[in-house]
Amino acid sequence: MNPIEELSPKGVWRNFYALTQIPRPSGHTKQVADFLVDFAQKNGAEAYIDEAGNVVMKKGATPGYEDRETAVLQAHMDMVPQKTKECKHNFETDPLDVYIDGEWVTARDTTLGADDGMGVAAAMAILEDDSIPHGPLEVLITRDEETGMEGAFQLKAGELTGKYLLNLDSETEGEITIGCAGGMDVVCSMEYQEEEADTEGKLCYNITIKGLLGGHSGIEIFKGRANANKLMTRILFAAVNTDLAELCSWHGGNMRNAIPRECEATVLVPADKKDEFLALIEKSKAIFTDEYKDVETNGFLLTATPVEQMPETVVPQEIGENLINAMMAAHDGVLRYTPSMPDLVETSSNLAIINVAEGKAEVISLARSSQDSMKLYLCNGLVACFSMAGMKVSLEGGYSGWQPNPKSALVASMSDIYEKMYGKKPIVGACHAGLECGIIGVNYPDMDMASYGPTLVSPHTPSEACHIPSVQKFYDFTLEILKNIPKK
């Protein structure tokens, strides 16, 4: 037995460990969906996969609670697949290597998947324990939340009957979330005719940035962490625009909702400008280190490594300059804080993915805002920026934010319960991350909703960790909420 399975509450940790052994990156969730259906059926619950690929589980009330309103426990089955540059882990086939580190559970060189495996594991623990008092219960585990909330978008009206929904996908114990930002993917693409590389008298270098903290592009965007794509843009802007280098290829980031931790570009450098080019790399490293010394506390690596095999093609100079200029101009980070709540980010964007190679260029940014008008303003600015570089730009996967309901009976009850249990009031507010509640609410407008969870740090990065003591508090709180769901 793995030591994690012995942690308390055992039901939650045992089920969470089981989830870490099942590959479940976004876009590859069939295996975990089948596992969840089988688990529920073995524990006396009705369970099926709906047309959207979500898992729906339903279990009757425990004796004495038949007259309660139906409650919905909601989480998502997929996880963000991020790993260190050196890690050989295959998220589609390999189990995670998870371990205990003091008061935390984490994974070796990969994301942990506690976002939102912890929410799924808590729901599983409740389903399998017949001694837990609760009214009629529905569990909704959605598909591909991390890549566009596709399961929530495709959830049909009438699939659920519950009046109260507990979203188990927040990441700070002691907080209850009642609203979140909306989002939009800004997808830019173009094709170009590669030029044959003139390698006479030139050297090839691979510029690499790695080791940045990265993070969740919603909940950690305010921390001002370095974006590897932006740092590389600054280097290329200085090198390509001054004829120190020709761009051959450029790759950075792999998830729309993760701040890019790594980026690499291959360039050709005139041999007689080698020293000047390498001096630029060293100067950039010194500048970035100074700029982010209080933020990137683990340090990072910026290297220019000689490449023996010369590239056959390069990006045409005008195309390369236009792409670099657009990336320089494109907004990244916080755009505006909420005027009525100055500590809460209202609008932001994440320059998430860059791929330039083999005659194709792709850039993806994720724009977020709790104000639809500001989200549109930000998106239109990105459209204008990349259109001027000759790229085709489309806005995809848009959703509005989840608007807070200050009169929520569920939240009032949860706040009272938390204070009685722990002697202090929980923090109630909105967040800048995306949650599925607002999307689900389109088809279930009368459903009362709230979001909460255990404490996680650095989700969407290989440093992701879950605070062990917070899981017990989160789980006990959930059981007490279910015990106190109102009568019909």
Give the number of other CB atoms < 10 A from CB of residue 244: 20
Note the pLDDT of residue 4. 97
User: Dihedrals φ, ψ of 363, to 5°?
Assistant: -135, 130
How far apart, in whole angstroms, are the C-alpha atoms of residue 260 and residue 355?
13
What number is the average pLDDT over the span 60-80?
A: 97
Note the pLDDT of residue 340. 87
Note the pLDDT of residue 333. 98
In the chain, % of residues over pLDDT 90: 95
Note the pLDDT of residue 223. 96
pLDDT band at 277 (very low <50, low <70, confident <90, very high): very high
- Same topology, domains 3-181+401-483 and 184-399? Answer is no
Note the pLDDT of residue 189. 98
How far apart, in whole angstroms, are the C-alpha atoms of residue 267 and residue 306?
10
How far apart, in whole angstroms, are the C-alpha atoms of residue 124 and residue 403?
29
pLDDT tens, residue by residue, 261-272: 999 999 999 999
Residue 1 has pLDDT above 90, yes or no: no
What number is the average pLDDT over the span 39-45?
A: 97
The number of angstroms, rounded, from the C-alpha of 218 to the middle of its chain's C-alpha atoms is: 8
Architecture of the domain made up of 184-399: 2-Layer Sandwich (3.30)
Task: Give the predicted TM-score (pTM) of the model.
Answer: 0.90
User: Mind telling me the catalytic residues?
Assistant: 78, 145
pLDDT tens, residue by residue, 433-471: 999 999 999 999 999 999 999 999 999 999 999 999 999
Note the pLDDT of residue 266. 98
**Strand ranges of the sheet holding 104-107, from the earlier edge strand across to the other edge:** 98-101, 104-107, 465-467, 456-457
Note the pLDDT of residue 83. 93
What number is the average pLDDT over the span 469-477?
A: 98
CATH topology of domain 3-181+401-483: Aminopeptidase (3.40.630)
Structure tokens at 451: 């979001």
Domain boundaries, the chain: 3-181+401-483, 184-399
Averaged pLDDT score across all residues of the chain: 96
Structure tokens at 309: 């095999």
How far apart, in whole angstroms, are the C-alpha atoms of residue 54 and residue 473?
28
pLDDT tens, residue by residue, 22-36: 999 999 999 999 999
Note the pLDDT of residue 406. 85
Structure tokens at 488: 């019909």
Decide: residue 199, CB within 10 A, 0-12 exposed, 13-18 middle, 19+ buried: middle
Note the pLDDT of residue 85. 82
Among 92, 119, 83, smallest CA distance to 210 is for: 83
pLDDT tens, residue by residue, 318-372: 999 999 999 999 999 999 999 988 999 999 999 999 999 999 999 999 999 999 9
Decide: residue 423, CB within 10 A, 0-12 exposed, 13-18 middle, 19+ buried: exposed
